[in-house]
């Protein structure tokens, strides 16, 4: 039989072979078209969602929103909640990058900004609730958007801080040789941000984004339905649906709401987090590429879509090149101007030096004025109330730290196992995300009833609820830290036959240490936040309380007692600042110096 020549297409003597070849060629040509259709469908769905939410927000505010417990209302309620959490996440991401960047590269304000970040992430959501909600309603008195923006800002206050800590910690951990390379090649600040700092922080940001969205689901019930004095604020959403079902003791409605939430979380994992985790893996700082990689069907669709590639080729790529060329020319012109300019100080330079001091004086005057008004507001508080608040602060402080120890005891080994094994991560990551996103407040009635039957009460139940709400901060940060450990370090440990103890002491714990400290700090803030729900809970039209600062803040918010609310917030801030000075700041310095890759 005559063989075909090199480069020619072999001929098939039978008809089925020809049909098989023709069919494979048709599929090969049509597959990119199918991918383009999928991308176009997703774009149209997003456009319809934007139109629908704009029409709803532009409407007049309703005086008394009635939350229906019918399962038919769940799709619309879920849509509203997803939009609120998405917008709060986008706001959190922008704030985290801006705040973390400013704190990392400004030595003068860095201690103040980190201390403020510690305080803000530990202040309960209900402490922000009255001023934020009243301010937004005043801004938009005739539109529903005022209440919506208030809820979004409240979700933002419960989700942003761990992302800011993560980005700040990543910037402080960038290897020196990479920073020196950007200085040698004269990168501008935006170029260094997009080509070094954001890629290096990508893994930590992605995993902390998962935790932030999970925290948004956790506080959704408090943000969509709450009481302040005689006013009742309600928004149509999945959180208000679950809260209404819990107040009414409707087990079927709670089950429907939880199933809907789990479905949304699973869809989010497949459509958002799985592609981002797979994409961020390429930014791992290592000299030996790992042989184990994750996979994502959606990322495959986006990377193999001809339409998406054409859009990127004709928009993003040329715009990016033009942007960096313009930055390079501007930097060269600025350096040339500085080299040829006279040594004397210009008026603009003098004004630039004076402006920061003017801003500091304005901020100091505002702080003094606010402190004076706060002291006037605290004047009605008597000694007995001070003593009760101090007792509550001590009780909550013990619960917060005990829950942190319990959380660290299991999340560190489990997080390292997930981070080291991509196959296990594909299974465990969505399960952990589901468990972290399901509001513990929806499960708390069942847990509390079981503890009461076993002889416990809300004192023990509050620790359980704090643990359910804060352990995920540590777990996701440990997973991110384990995934960021370079593959060559793991191979060196295997090559020198490290024992399990040596592997943990010399590779794993030093590698995850910066991420672990970030997780512990944010978990501490999450525990203080969870105290407002854990120590003051409504069950079957009954209010269960235990001694604690969270219970006192929740009670003050419900009854409109501003002095107690303010004093409780001040006590939390003082305890957080003290803990930061004595514990977290020394550990952060240790992470920046001794346990830094380089």
Residues 6+ apart with CB under 8 A from 355: none
Q: Cα separation of 278 and 316, whole Å?
A: 21
Residue 483: C-alpha distances to residues 18, 293, 479 (Å): 48, 11, 6
* DSSP per residue, 188-201: -HHHHIIIIIHHHH
Beta strands in 132-230 (DSSP E): 225-228
The answer, yes or no, to whether residue 227 has pLDDT greater than 90, is: no
Residue identified by tokens 């619960």 is 399
Coil vs helix vs strand at 225: strand
The answer, yes or no, to whether residue 197 has pLDDT greater than 80, is: yes
Residues 6+ apart with CB under 8 A from 407: 467, 470, 471, 474, 475, 523
Give the pLDDT score at 55.
Answer: 63
The mean predicted confidence, pLDDT, of the chain is 76
Residue 543: phi, psi to the nearest 5?
Answer: -105, 115
Give the pLDDT score at 93.
Answer: 92
Give the pLDDT score at 591.
Answer: 79
Looking at 110-119, 179-188, 319-328, 407-416, which range is the least confident one? 319-328
Degrees, nearest 5: CA angle 579-585-588: 135
Q: Cα separation of 435 and 444, whole Å?
A: 13
CB 288 within 8 A of CB 487: yes
| Single pTM value for the model | 0.68
Residue 381: C-alpha distances to residues 195, 297, 377, 467, 562 (Å): 54, 59, 9, 32, 10
The secondary element (H helix, E strand) that includes residue 318 is helix 317-340
User: Residue 211 burial by CB count (10 A; 0-12/13-18/19+): exposed, middle or buried?
Assistant: buried
437-469 confidence digits (pLDDT tens): 666 666 666 677 677 667 666 777 788 888 887
Radius of gyration of the chain (CA): 27
Looking at 86-90, 197-201, 317-321, 452-456, which range is the least confident one? 452-456
The answer, yes or no, to whether residue 54 has pLDDT greater than 60, is: yes
Q: Which residues pair with 19 in a beta bridge?
A: none
- Among candidate residues 514, 529, 463, 394, the one with its CA nearest the CA of residue 119: 529
Helices within 438-540 (DSSP H only) = 440-453, 458-484, 487-495, 500-503, 509-534
397-448 confidence digits (pLDDT tens): 999 899 999 999 999 999 999 888 878 877 887 787 777 766 666 666 667 7
User: Residue 241 burial by CB count (10 A; 0-12/13-18/19+): exposed, middle or buried?
Assistant: buried
- Among candidate residues 152, 151, 167, 153, the one with its CA nearest the CA of residue 117: 167
The secondary element (H helix, E strand) that includes residue 542 is strand 542-545
Residue 68: phi, psi to the nearest 5?
Answer: -80, 140
Looking at 52-56, 415-419, 522-526, which range is the least confident one? 52-56
Coil vs helix vs strand at 87: helix
CB 197 within 8 A of CB 307: no
Give the pLDDT score at 423.
Answer: 80
Give the pLDDT score at 402.
Answer: 92
């Amino acid at each position: 039989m005559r063989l075909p020549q090199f480069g020619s297409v072999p001929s098939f003597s039978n008809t089925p072979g020809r049909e098989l070849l023709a069919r494979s060629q048709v599929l090969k040509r049509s597959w990119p078209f199918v991918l383009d259709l999928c991308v176009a469908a997703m774009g149209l769905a997003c456009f319809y969602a934007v139109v629908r939410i704009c029409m709803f927000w532009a409407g007049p505010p309703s005086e008394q929103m009635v939350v229906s417990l019918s399962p038919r209302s769940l799709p619309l309620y879920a849509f509203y909640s997803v939009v609120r959490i998405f917008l709060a996440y986008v706001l959190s991401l922008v704030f985290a990058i801006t705040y973390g960047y400013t704190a990392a590269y400004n030595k003068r304000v860095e201690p103040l900004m980190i201390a403020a970040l510690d305080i803000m992430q530990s202040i309960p959501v209900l402490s922000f609730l009255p001023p934020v909600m009243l301010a937004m309603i005043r801004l938009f008195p005739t539109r529903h958007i005022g209440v919506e923006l208030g809820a979004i800002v409240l979700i933002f206050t419960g989700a942003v801080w761990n992302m800011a800590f993560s980005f700040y910690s990543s910037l402080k951990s960038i290897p020196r040789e990479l920073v020196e390379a950007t200085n040698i090649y004269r990168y501008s600040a935006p170029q260094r941000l997009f080509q070094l700092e954001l890629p290096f922080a990508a893994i930590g940001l992605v995993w902390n984004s998962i935790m932030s969205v999970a925290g948004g689901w956790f506080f959704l019930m408090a943000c969509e339905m709450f009481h302040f004095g005689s006013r009742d604020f309600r928004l149509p959403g999945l959180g208000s649906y679950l809260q209404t079902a819990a107040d009414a003791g409707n087990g079927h409605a709670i089950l429907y709401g939880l199933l809907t939430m789990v479905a949304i979380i699973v869809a989010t994992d497949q459509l958002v987090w799985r592609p981002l985790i797979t994409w961020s893996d390429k930014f791992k700082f290592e000299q030996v590429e790992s042989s184990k990689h994750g996979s994502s069907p959606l990322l495959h669709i986006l990377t193999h879509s001809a339409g998406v590639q054409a859009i990127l080729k004709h928009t993003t790529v040329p715009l990016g090149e033009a942007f960096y060329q313009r930055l390079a020319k501007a930097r060269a012109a600025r350096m040339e101007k500085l080299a040829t300019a006279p040594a004397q100080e210009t008026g603009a330079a003098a004004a630039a030096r004076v402006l920061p001091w003017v801003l500091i004086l304005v901020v100091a005057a505002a702080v003094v004025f606010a402190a004076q008004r706060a002291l006037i507001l605290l004047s009605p508080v008597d000694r007995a109330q001070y003593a009760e608040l101090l007792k509550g602060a001590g009780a909550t402080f013990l619960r917060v730290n005990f829950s942190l120890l319990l959380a660290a005891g299991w999340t560190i080994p489990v997080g390292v196992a997930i981070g080291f094994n991509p196959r296990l991560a594909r299974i465990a990551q969505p399960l952990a995300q589901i468990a972290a996103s399901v509001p513990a407040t929806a499960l708390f009635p069942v847990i509390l009833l079981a503890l009461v039957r076993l002889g416990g009460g809300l004192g023990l139940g509050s620790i359980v609820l704090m643990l359910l709400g804060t352990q995920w901060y540590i777990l996701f940060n440990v997973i991110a830290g384990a995934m960021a450990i370079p593959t060559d370090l793991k191979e060196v440990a295997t090559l020198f036959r490290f024992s399990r103890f040596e592997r943990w002491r010399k590779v794993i714990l030093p590698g995850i240490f910066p991420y672990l400290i970030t997780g512990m700090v944010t978990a501490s803030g999450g525990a203080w936040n969870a105290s407002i729900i854990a120590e003051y809970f409504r069950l079957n039209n009954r209010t269960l309380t235990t001694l604690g600062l969270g219970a006192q803040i929740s009670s003050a918010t419900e009854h409109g007692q501003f002095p107690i609310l303010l004093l409780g917030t001040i006590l939390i801030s003082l305890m957080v600042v003290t803990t930061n000075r004595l514990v977290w700041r020394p550990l952060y310095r240790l992470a920046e110096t001794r346990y830094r890759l380089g």
